[in-house]
Chain A
Amino acid sequence: MAVKGLVKYVVRRGLVLYATMLAALYITILVANMGGKVDEIILADLQTQIWDTVNRNPAYRALSGAERERIVKQMLENEIKRLGLDQPFLVRSFRYLIDAATLNLGRAQFMTSDTGSRLVANIILERLPATVMLFTTVMVINFFLHLFLGLYLSRRYGSLLDRVVVALAPTSVLPGWFYGIILILIFYTWLHVLPPGGIVDVPPPKDPLLYALSVLKHMILPMASWIIAGFFLGVYGNRTFFLIFSTEDYVEAAKAKGLPPGLVERRYILRPSLPPIITGFALGLIGSWSGAIITETVFNWPGLGSVAYMAIQYLDTPVILGFTVIYAYLLMITVLILDIIYGLVDPRIKVRFG
C-alpha cells in the first residue's frame, strides 16, 4: 500500500521534473542562439561529418579537391534540407531541444576526451566520477557532521563550545573555493606538506594501494576546504533548529511522561525536524554542483568543473552548451532523488498518495 503510493508519487514527480527540465533546456537553447551560436555549432558539426564520409569513401578518392568540395557542398545542402535546418528558428529550436534531451551534444571544436573522443557527451561524462567522488562525499560528510554536532550542541546549549560555534558561524560566508586558496597557501606554498592540486601524483603509482593513497592525499585539501566552509554555520543552523523543536509542547509532554532522553531525541525532536533538514541538504547538494566548478578550477581537479574551465579557455562553444545541458540533467536527478527521500520521511506525502 505504502510502496504503491510512493511509486505513484515518484513517477508523478519524475514526469513533472522532466517536463520542467525540458523547459529549462529550451530556455538555454533560446538564450544560446540569440547570437546564432547553436546554429553555428550544428552546421560545423554537420560539415565535419560529411567531410569524413566523403574522405573515407573510396568512390570519391579519385576526384580532385575542387570536385570533392562541390560534392560536400551539395551533400551539406541536402542534409540541411533533410534535417529541416533551413526551416524557421521556431521549428529548428525544437530539433535542438530533442538533440539536447537525448544528450546528442555534437562534437567539440578543440577539446578531446582522455580516451580521444571528440564527442561532447564523452568529454563531459568521463569527468563525472571525479566530481561525484569528491563533492558528494564532502556533502554527505558535512550532512552528518552538522546533524550530530548540532544535536550535541543543542543538548549543551550555552556551554563554551556552543558559544564558540555561534561566534564562528559568520566564517561560513566564505565559499569553499576561497578556503581552498587559503589552504593551498598554507599547506603547499608555506609548509610544503600537501599537493596543491591534481587527483594523483605524477607519474601515478603502479600499485593500486599506493594509487588510492595518492588520490586520498590529493583529496584532503579540497575536502577540508568545503568542510571548513560549511562547518560552523551548518552546526549552528542545526543546533538552533533542534533547540526550537525541543521547546515544543509535545516534547515537554514526552519528557514529563518520563521517556528516556535518547528516545525523546530520536522520536520527538529528530523525526519531525528531518524534512526541513533534508531540504537544506538538497539545496546544499544542488549548490555543490555549481560550487564544484570553481573549487575544481582552484585545485585543478579533473572533474566537470575543470572541463568547464577549459572550455572557457578554448572558447569551445559546443562543450559550454553541452555542459549546461548535462548540469540541467544532474540537477533534475538530484531534485528527484531528494523528492524520493522526502517521500520516505515525510508522512504527509505517504498519506496523500497512500
Chain B
Amino acid sequence: MSAPGAEYGLKGVVRELLSYKSGIVGLAILALLVAISVYAIVAIPYEEAIRLWRGQEAMWIDNPRTAAPEWVEIFVGKKLPRTIRLDSRVRETGVSKTVIDLPGTGMRKVLIEYRFRFDYDEPPSELNIFFFSNYTGSSAPLVRLVWRKPSGEEIELLRYGLRAPDDKLYVSISDAVLSNLVSYYVSKYPVNVSERVTVLKLLFGKVTGKSLESGDFEVEKGDYKLTVEATVFSKDVDLDAKLVVYGTVHGIAGTDHLRRPLEIPLIWGAPIALAFGLTASLVTTFLQMIIAVISGWYGGWVDSLIQRVTELYMVIPFLPFLMLISTFYKIDIWILLAVVIILSIFGGGIKGTRALVMQLKEYPYIEAAKAYGASDFRIIFFYIIPKILPPVVPGLVGAVPGYVFLEAGLAFLGLGDPFLPTWGKVINEAYSNGALYRGLYYWVVEPAAMLMLTAFAFAFLGFALDKIVNPRLREL
C-alpha cells in the first residue's frame, strides 16, 4: 500500500505517540478513564446504576444532604464531622438496649442508650432518630429522650408518643426540642436568647450566657450520650431505634441534594461519555468521509446533490433542532446519539475531503486502476479511502470532546437521558440547587474535572496525531 499512514500500523502509531509529551499524557488519561469505565460497568451494572440513581430518598436516608467530600478537610484545615450511625437492631459498640418488664401491669420499658465521641470542629448537619416498632392499634409507645453532654449536663429533649410504627423524629428541626433546650438553658443563664440558636448548636455547642446571647457557639468535644426511654403497653411489643448524626462530609465525592453519593454518577459518567463521544465522532467522521469520496469521485449530479444537502445542513440549526427533538419525543441517550449522528453526517468535514479526492482522482495509480478495469467500489474503498484516512484520524480524535460536551450541554439544559447518571446532569442539578450560590464547590468541580480530563485526553492525542500524520506541522 502506498498510503503514508499505512507503514505505521497500530504499534507504530502508539510508539510514535509516546515520543510526544502530549501523546503520553493523552494516552495515560485515556487509560485511566477506560479503567474507571470498566470498573463502573463491572462493579455497578447498568440496571443497578439506574436503580441506585433513581431510587427514592429512603435508599440514601442515612447519608447527609449536600455533604462535601472528606478530602475538603485539607483545604478547610478543620476536622469536619463524619456521619455517626447507631442502630439498636445491630449489635455494635456504642449502643445498648435493655428491656424491663414492669410486673403486674403488662407494660415494658425499653431503654436504648447511644454513646458516641464527637471531637470535630463543626456541629453536624442534621440529627434524626428512626423508630421501628411493631405495635398495633392505638397503644403507641411513649418515648422520652434524654441528652447528656460531655460536661455532664443532662437535658430532657422530648416526651412524645409514636405516631406510626416506623416514626421518624427529625430532632434538628423539631420546634419542641428547641423550646425544651432553650428553656433548660434560660433557667441556667437568664439572658435574651439570640434568634440564631438552633437545635444543633445547643446540642453540640459550649453553651454560656454569652454564646446564648450572640448565637455563636464553639463545639463541645467529648463523649455524648442519648437515652431513648420508651414505655410500651404490651408484652409482645418491642421497639428499636436508629440514631443518625449526619456529618458535613461524606465519602470520596460527597453527596447531592437527594443524599445520593456523587461517586456513582462520577464513575458512571465515564463509560457514557466515552461511548457517546467515540461513537458519535467515529461514525460521523467515517460517514462524512465516504460521502465526500462519493461526491468527489462520481461528480455530476451525485456531487451537486450532495453539495446541496451539505448547504441545507448548514442552515438547519443544529442545537435548537436537537432540543426540539428531545423535548417533543423524550428520547434517551442512545437515540440522542443517533440523532446527533444524523444531524452531523453532512457537516463541515465534507468540503475539505472532497477537494482532496478531486486531486487524488488525477493520480497515476488511480488512472492505472481505472485502466485495468477496477470497479468504482474497489477504487473508493481500497485505493482512495486508505490514502485519505491518515489526515482524517487526528480530526476524529479531536472531535470527541465536542460530542462529550454536547451531551453535557444538553444534560445541563435538562434534556439529557432521563435515567442514566451523567456528568452534565450532575452539573445541571448542582446548578438548579444553587451550588454556586451556596459555595458547594465540590458539586460542580468534580463532574467538571471529569469532563476536563476526558476532553484533554482526546485533545492531547489529537494534537500529537496531527503532528504524526502532518509532518509539516512538526516543523512549525
Contacts and interface: CB of A to CB of B under 8 A. Distances in A.
B321 A23 contact: no
Given A37-B328, A286-B314, A293-B319, A174 B455 contact: yes
Contacts of B463: 169-170
A341 to B, nearest CB: 16
A253 interface: no
B444 to A, nearest CB: 6
Interface in B311-325: 311-312, 314-321, 323-325
B452 to A, nearest CB: 6
15 contacts: A16-B311, A23-B312, A27-B316, A31-B325, A32-B324, A174-B405, A174-B455, A177-B412, A293-B320, A311-B327, A312-B413, A320-B324, A324-B323, A328-B317, A332-B315
B314 A320 contact: no
B397 to A, nearest CB: 11
Interface stretch (A76-84, A183-191, A343-351): A183-191
A23 B346 CA distance: 15
Interface in A20-58: 20-21, 23-24, 27-28, 31-32, 34-35, 37
Contacts of B312: 20, 23-24, 27
A242 B320 CA distance: 35
B320 A185 contact: no
A240 interface: yes
A157 B328 contact: no
A289 B415 contact: no
B325 A173 contact: no
A320 B328 contact: yes
A38 B62 CA distance: 47
B444 A185 contact: yes
Assign chain A's interface to a size class: 35 or more
Nearest to B325: A31
Interface of B: 22, 308, 311-312, 314-321, 323-325, 327-329, 348, 398, 401-402, 405, 408-409, 412-415, 427, 431, 436-437, 439, 441, 444-445, 448, 451-452, 455-456, 458-460, 462-463, 472-473, 476
A272 to B, nearest CB: 17
Contacts of B439: 189
B75 to A, nearest CB: 12
Given A24-B315, A328-B316, 12 more contacts: A16-B311, A21-B315, A28-B321, A31-B321, A174-B401, A178-B448, A196-B437, A244-B472, A309-B414, A324-B317, A324-B323, A328-B315
A27 B339 CA distance: 14
B242 to A, nearest CB: 35
Contact of A320 (B323, B427, B460): B323
Contacts of B445: 185
A317 to B, nearest CB: 7
B413 A297 contact: yes
A331 B329 contact: no
